[in-house]
């Protein structure tokens, strides 16, 4: 199921306006999404092909308003592992509420306000196949069209109809701030001075960045090889897999 197959049915902009928008605002978001999502996918799954675009309220506008949805089109079936990664990357972008993945056999809309660990709760709607796409089609087709039609995207129909899947607390940036507030509260309750508390949190955030941020070759600064070398050099007590593991040891921390 390609974008070209459904854009008229859903009232979405033409394919070139989604994947190569002329407006500076939509183009900026499309380029950003391609770099973050397509780039990471190529590293994790080199053989998987994908196109990334955006559905904007006005593809020709220079406005920096966030897109109505991100769209990822696959020429072949992607599989759950790839789809889960794409959803996690879209969730991390924190730029839009909806992700739509298009595979030859199905369309899936995902909530980008749901933690990627929430399983099926992340899915807003699904549509298998293309047979008889029309406004008066099957009940499932009518439901999907009701949620994803361009007019309804602008009026946030999906968010209003499925509020439990679009809680602002589930956004990546909101969840990060919630976790930081909790840790800050715990540290202050232990008697740590506020300045020291903030310095410590800043170091933790930067260290986590060094675990997650990857170079063009897909390697993080604190890679598995680096952690293994630090253990072999007797700097660390073991080859930790992540920052949480390091923090479990006071000496290694």
Give the rounded distance of the alpha carbon of 215 from its chain centre. Answer: 19
Q: How buried is residue 15: exposed, middle or buried, by Cβ count under 10 Å (0-12/13-18/19+)?
A: middle
Please list the residues that pair with 70 across neighbouring strands.
Answer: 54, 99
Mean pLDDT of the chain: 90
Reported as a single tens digit per residue, the pLDDT across 2-19 is 999 899 999 999 999 999
Reported as a single tens digit per residue, the pLDDT across 31-83 is 999 988 998 898 889 999 999 999 999 988 888 888 999 999 999 999 999 99
Helix (H) or strand (E) holding 25: helix 24-33
Q: What is the crossing angle of helices 194-212 and 172-189, to 10°?
A: 140
Q: What are phi and psi of 51, to 5 degrees?
A: -115, 140
Q: Is the pTM of this model over 0.75?
A: yes
Which pLDDT value is given to residue 86?
Answer: 96
Cα separation, 28 vs 105, whole angstroms: 30
Strand order of the β-sheet with 51-55 is 51-55, 69-73, 98-103, 106-111, 123-128
Domain ranges across the chain: 3-167, 172-247
Decide if 101 contacts 83 (C-beta within 8 A): yes
């Amino acid at each position: 199921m390609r974008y070209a197959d459904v854009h008229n049915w859903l009232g979405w902009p033409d394919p070139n306006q989604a994947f190569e928008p002329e407006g500076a605002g939509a183009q900026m978001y499309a380029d950003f999404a391609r770099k973050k999502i397509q780039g990471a996918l190529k590293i994790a799954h080199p053989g998987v092909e994908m196109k990334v675009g955006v559905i904007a309220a006005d593809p020709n506008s220079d406005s920096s308003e966030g897109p109505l949805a991100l769209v990822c089109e696959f020429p072949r079936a992607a599989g759950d592992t790839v789809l889960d990664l794409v959803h996690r990357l879209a969730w991390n972008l924190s730029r839009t509420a909806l992700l739509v993945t298009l595979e030859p056999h199905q369309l899936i809309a995902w909530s980008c306000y749901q933690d990627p660990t929430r399983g099926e709760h992340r899915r807003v709607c699904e549509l298998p196949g293309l047979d008889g796409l029309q406004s008066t089609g099957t009940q499932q087709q009518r439901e999907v069209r009701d949620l994803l039609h361009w007019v309804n995207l602008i009026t946030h129909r999906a968010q209003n109809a499925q509020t439990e899947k679009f809680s602002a607390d589930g956004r990546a940036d909101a969840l990060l701030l919630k976790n930081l507030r909790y840790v800050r509260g715990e540290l202050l309750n232990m008697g740590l001075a506020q300045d020291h508390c903030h310095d410590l949190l800043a170091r933790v955030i930067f260290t986590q960045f060094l675990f997650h941020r990857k170079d063009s070759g897909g390697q993080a600064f604190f890679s598995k090889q680096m952690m293994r070398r630090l253990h072999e050099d007797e700097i660390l007590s073991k080859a930790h897999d992540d920052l949480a593991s390091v923090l479990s040891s006071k000496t290694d921390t």
